Structure 1
Amino acid sequence: MTTDAIAFFLNRYGLTTDDLNTLLGEALADGGDYADLYFEYCRTNSLNLEEHLIKAANRSVAQGVGVRVIVGEKTGYAYTDDISRESIRQAARTAACIARDAAKSASPVAVTARAAAHDLYPPVEPVGEVSIERKIELLRDIDERCYAADRRIQKVQVSLADEWKAVMVATSDGVLTGDMQPLARIGVMCIADQDGDLRAGRAGGGGRRGFGMFTEGELGPEALAREAVRLAILQFDAVDAPAGPMEVVLGHGWPGILLHEAIGHGLEADFNRKKTSAFSDLIGQRVASEACTIVDDGTLPGRRGSLNVDDEGHPTSRTVLIEKGILRGYINDYLNARLLGVPRTGNGRRESYRHIPMPRMTNTYMLAGTEAPEDIVRSVKRGLYAVQFGGGQVDITSGKFVFSASEAYLIEDGRITAPVKDATLIGHGPEALTKVTAVGCDLELDLGVGTCGKDGQSVPVGVGMPTIKISEMTVGGTQR
């Protein structure tokens, strides 16, 4: 994988390792601690079906190189979409001028190719190589199944997007590595109409696997259509959500998005280095109940958030963030690991060559406990069972969050009863973790729909959790 990616760039653009060493030297010409070159070639395809017709079909190619120079805490960054020696040299000189330091005169170490530590996405019929006819056939199959499932379905939208990205990273400390990264995602939305009351249901997923993931199982046409229709129809029977403090049970899988937003971002090293996170200076202290162990793991095969190497060329890893309630560490990139004096975790990520890398999550989830999910529900006298989440907001500094539940139910006398609508969960990330009183044995990761935003950049991620009970959380709804 590594050698293939390196050969792809060197052969395609007529470059040599000597050229890379020279360009890194240009980047450090005005002084600097470190420099790197990030090469990217990305080919994307997308199809959208609506009203039984393909309404959009797009194909695009993006390529370029980002050059970064670091001096202390200062970073100079420049990029070019022309992968030629002269254009890269100009970008290197620009980055060097931004981060110049006449007192330093570091010289780059000659780059040597290093093999990736992982092989997480073997090329089994990549989605990007499947004919457009087969892709259209798949979308039409889902479309037909949705309409056939219930007469109240009035509109269906189905989309399929895939990308193939090759990256190569050369650093001034002598690293030369690369990766070829497939990624695909399918999405379905159904709109149901019952006497003028319109409700939408959504389903989808994907990952770094072959086209076969969309032909059967949880992401096959039958399962996707059934789930999207179910979620749309379910809302016709929903009652108003209760309001006020109560016990809350979170279902397994996608509800891990609450961990990602309310906890995960606060554990990114840049926020903690700058003392702007609710978790700053708390390593070694209890920040959650003993039942909680939370990890970030970029090494899970085929997952949406997984990578063989991060966008700085460092191998991804499994990082324990919270262990039995004790904060053990943060996720970091090259810059923040160096400034904090800690090992890198392989979480330096960027949206594209146009963007500077920063600490970002990969697949973030809570480890399973020992309790049966049905026993957790039975232990609740009155509360809310939240299965799916829509949008949410979190304040990194304070830790406060608000999430809307797109699928939730009442729990009454230990039984799941009526579905509810317009429920929101309001809380404080660290405080919510201390109130986790039960953790189920049913850990599950999401189906591969997550996209994380930070500082204007978006990257694919994964989330997950087992069923858990939080002893008290504020639910926003209608007071009963």
Structure 2
Amino acid sequence: MTDALALARDTFLTPAGLDESRLLSVMDRLMVPGVEAADLYFQQRLTRSWALEDGMVKSGSHDVERGVGVRAVSGDRQGLAYSDEIALAPMLEAAQAATAIAGDGSSRSAPVAVTTGGARPLYPATDPLLGIEPGVQIDVLARADRAARAADPRVFQVMARLAAQHETVLVFDAEGRLSADVRPLMRLDVSVMVEQDGRREQAHAGGGGREHFSVVLAGDLPEQLAREAVRQAVVLLGAIPAPAGSMPVVLGPGWPGVLLHEAVGHGLEGDFNRKGSSAFSGRVGQRVAPADCTIVDDGTLPGRRGSLSIDDEGTPTHCTALIENGILTGYMQDRLNARLMKVAPTGNGRRESYAHLPMPRMTNTYMQAGTRDPEEILRSVDRGLYAVNFGGGQVDITSGNFVFSASEAYLIEKGRITRPVKGATLIGNGPETLPRMVMIGNDLQLDGGVGICGKDGQSVPVGVGQPTLKVDGLTVGGTEA
């Protein structure tokens, strides 16, 4: 038995008087004729946060979410009922409600025994604040405040926020498999405002991962993030209006991979492709990108924000090649879509909570490093844009069209980075942009640990990344007169 499984049993089953026989009785109630698959998803999530504004504590919160989701699947239909009381009676009632969706299908028998599977540990199976003395969290926020103000006299406002999450999940499925995960999550964010000659600018920096708070205490992350937020804000003070038109765009390494996540990643999720609503539907085996382009979704990276030992259906996560040497090789799959598409699940079944249905979602999605030197990439551009940080964006999955705003960008003139610009938006189409990725750098970076992905009203933590990347003929929407 893994540590995570032992902890999950102690969290959900033992206090409720549940054992293997009672789990089997709930599954037996679920597996009525017409139901092809089912699962029980137990979840407890403890979230604590603190916020400091201009040296004063602004807010603090302590939230607990706990319950069980009961799901029955027939074909492509899913029935979900859930309860915030973990006990046999409400679980049996939820099972009866979930099976109301059952129709004609190839029914199967309920499991007769429970098997347990251990997942490889990718992060410590403990509360990230275990052993931390009260008040230390505020001290960390105060460190960020002091560092931001010391970095530049033009700083007049500092906001810092720290959040810690401790989540335990237990999954029991129609095969009789019982699996668990204990997931820590930390995040620190710093926002600053600067002013010069009546002009004000704001910037933000953040970071974190699935780690214990002691990692934050041992290093200088608060100071790093504060200085980075100040740097970005000061850059904006001197920014000129962004140009507009079609031009080469160089995307910096790391966080700019969020554009890849939105413009390409969502289109490679299994549900969109099974339904034929993605611009990538039916294109497995076809060339969709240059030969040196490989894009993966990897939920197995230790300590990363998007990583999971198991997904929210109990499937171990994988490093899944989506595009390999320019060829579309597959999609991200949960169990439902994998079964209907007659492929193997990839460990990408994710849900926001026990009150939500799982669906194919990304974990850590990134483009692997190429061979080009970043300086060589910049020198190849006579006039263009260098985008190194992004704010909001949106994409239409069916068409692949996207619009993204660059929060930090610079002109490239005669192969050199020159003036910062403000108000740049990148406009394009994911499938059409991939072949225009003409130079891929050798400097792969992953983001600092701030990604949140929304889909169908559900939000989950994710990671992104890429090397420096040159895209030819990308449309830039600017504010230059």
TM-score, normalising length from structure 1?
Answer: 0.97
Q: Who is 1:344 aligned against?
A: 345
Distance, in Å, in 2 between the alignment partners of 1:243 and 1:392 is: 18
Residue in structure 2 matched with residue 178 of structure 1 by the alignment: 180
Assess if the C-alpha contact under 8 Å between 1:369 and 1:441 holds in 2: yes
Q: Which amino acid aligns with 1:209?
A: E
Which residue of structure 1 lines up, in the alignment, with residue 376 of structure 2?
A: 375
1:447 maps to which residue?
448
Deviations 1:51-110 (A, max 9, x none): 21111111111100001101111111111101111111111110011x223676532113
Q: How does 1:66-465 map to 2 (within 5 A)?
A: 66-97=69-100, 99-101=101-103, 105-123=107-125, 126-127=128-129, 129-215=131-217, 220-465=221-466
Q: Deviations over 1:373-398 (max 9, x none)?
A: 11111111111000000000100000
| CA apart distance, 1:213 | 3.3
Distance in 1, Cα, partners of 2:237 & 2:102: 62
Compute the TM-score of the two structures, normalised by the length of structure 2.
0.97
- Assess, with a 3 A threshold, how the Cα gap between structure 1 residues 401 and 271 changes in structure 2: closer, same or farther: same
- Residue 46 of structure 2 corresponds to residue 43 of structure 1: yes
Secondary structure of the residue aligned to 1:40 is strand
- Residues 393-427 of structure 1 show CA distances to partners (whole Å, capped at 9, x for unaligned) of 10000000000000111110110111110001000
Paired residue type of 1:443: L
Greater CA deviation, 318-327 or 129-138? Answer: 129-138
Matched, 1:61 2:59: no
Q: For residue 151 of structure 1, give the secondary structure of its aligned residue in structure 2.
A: coil
1:239 Cα shift? 1.0
Deviation of 1:174 after TM superposition, in Å, equals: 1.4
- Asked if the contact 2:348/2:363 (under 8 Å) is kept, the reply is yes
Q: Return closer, same or farther for 1:374/1:212 CA change in 2, 3 Å cut-off.
A: farther
Distance, in Å, in 2 between the alignment partners of 1:13 and 1:211 is 31
| TM-superposition CA deviations, 1:3-57 (whole Å, max 9, x none) | 2244222212221011100001111235311110000011110001112111111
Amino acid at match of 1:60: D
Please state whether the residue corresponding to 1:283 is helix, strand or coil: coil
Helix, strand or coil for the counterpart of 2:289? coil
Shift of 1:113: 3.6
1:379 maps to a residue whose letter is: S
Partners of 1:229 and 1:201 lie apart in 2 by: 7
SS in 1 for 2:135: helix
For the residue of structure 2 that corresponds to 1:471, the secondary structure is strand
Deviation (angstroms), 1:129: 4.7
CA gap 1:301/1:101 in 2 versus in 1, 3 angstroms: same
Gaps (5+ residues) in structure 2? none
Equivalence map 1:13-32=2 (5 Å): 13-29=16-32, 31-32=34-35
CA–CA distance in structure 1, aligned partners of residues 127 and 103 of structure 2: 49
Letter in 2 for 1:191: M
Cα offset, 1:115, TM superposition:
2.8
CA contact (8 A) 1:124 1:209 kept: no
Cα distance in 2 for partners of 1:380, 1:114 equals 56
**SS in structure 1 of the partner of residue 256 of structure 2:** helix
User: Does structure 1 conserve the Cα–Cα contact (< 8 Å) formed by 2:124 and 2:184?
Assistant: no
- The AA in structure 2 aligned to 1:395 is D
Quote the offset at 1:112 in angstroms.
2.6
**C-alpha contact (below 8 Å) 1:123/1:209 kept by paired residues:** no
Measured in 1, the distance between the counterparts of 2:299 and 2:44 equals 21
- SS of residue matched to 1:260: helix
User: What SS is found at the alignment partner of 2:59?
Assistant: strand
* Distance of aligned partners of 1:474 and 1:332 in 2 relative to their CA distance in 1, 3 Å threshold: same
3-state secondary structure, aligned to 1:165: strand
Q: Residues 454 and 129 of structure 1: is their aligned pair in 2 closer, same or farther, counting only changes over 3 Å?
A: farther
Offset of 1:236 from its aligned partner? 0.9
Q: 1: CA distance between counterparts of 2:378 and 2:423?
A: 21
Indicate the larger mover: 169-178 or 297-306. 169-178
Offset from partner CA, 1:327-358 (integer Å, 9 cap, x none)? 00000101000000001100000000010000
Spell out, residue by residue over 1:415-445, the C-alpha distance to the aligned partner (whole angstroms, 9 max, x if none). 0111110001000101111001111110010
Cα RMSD after superposing both structures: 1.5
How far the C-alpha of 1:221 sits from its partner, in A, is: 2.0
**Partners of 2:310 and 2:83 in 1: how far apart?**
22
